[in-house]
Structure 1
């Protein structure tokens, strides 16, 4: 796509939002008979890939508010899928990891999720899409200084009211 035809940022955001909703719908369909929510699946998947994550990291990566994540983690602990422990290097942090039962549940759920995605026709651009999404995520995670609104540079706050 030539630069002049590049989609507006709002258009990209809308496309990403629609794709996320459709992906979540597919995930819900794969998980609905298991009693596992999409949010719980995301936590289990993150812990399967990287055990011993802190709650702040999990909240960031799942996009869940900390109180919601805490309630979800309490349920996963009660179900025997996750255990929490105090970080030995920083006693203020709590680390989470899958229990053996949680690893078994994750493997079972991962198979259902894979089956739900296998029904999608293969596309030669899948690797390219994943690469571009990874690059976009990295760009969006980078801190950016936003410009001041027009006409406000150097004006005291009282003058702008």
Structure 2
């Protein structure tokens, strides 16, 4: 029975992730962005410079894929790379002014999409779902 419950959980999580990703991807597509590009922009929105390995961890992307995503975002002037002043061997990635403006616009759009996705849930259920998912993912760390 446990194996069946585990499979059901994996199935439900996969379906939920697919539905959320599809909705967000549709909203991002209007701006010519992919979900992977959004994850990078979102991570850089804190204003700090981030290393490629830090971004890869946050965006859940393998290095080769991340390099292509970063190259594309640099190409369209949404982010830029700079050498780390404290360690010349490292390169840090930052959000450009254009990227910051786009992030601000898209963040509110994606927030509305998230609200639409969770409209059937009450505030307490949304909080509970977020808490349970956080606890579930924290176990793997």
Compute the TM-score of the two structures, normalised by the length of structure 1: 0.75
Matched, 1:57 2:54: yes
Cα separation, 2, equivalents of 1:140 and 1:9: 15
Question: 5+ residue gaps in structure 2?
Answer: none
Matched, 1:135 2:135: yes
Cα separation, 2, equivalents of 1:89 and 1:17: 41
Compute the TM-score of the two structures, normalised by the length of structure 2: 0.85
Superposed displacement of residue 50, structure 1? 5.8
Q: 1:98: which partner in 2?
A: 95
Greater Rg, structure 1 or structure 2? 1
**Regions of 4+ moved over 4 Å:** 4-7
Cα separation, 1, equivalents of 2:128 and 2:115: 18
Structure in which a larger fraction of residues adopt helix: 2
Give the stretch that moved more between structures: 25-34 or 6-15: 6-15
Q: What pairs up with 1:21-60 in 2 under 5 angstroms?
A: 21-49=18-46, 51-60=48-57
Change (3 A) 1:104 1:8: same
Superposed displacement of residue 6, structure 1? 9.7
Change (3 A) 1:129 1:66: same
Question: 5+ residue gaps in structure 1?
Answer: 142-161
Q: 1:119: which partner in 2?
A: 116
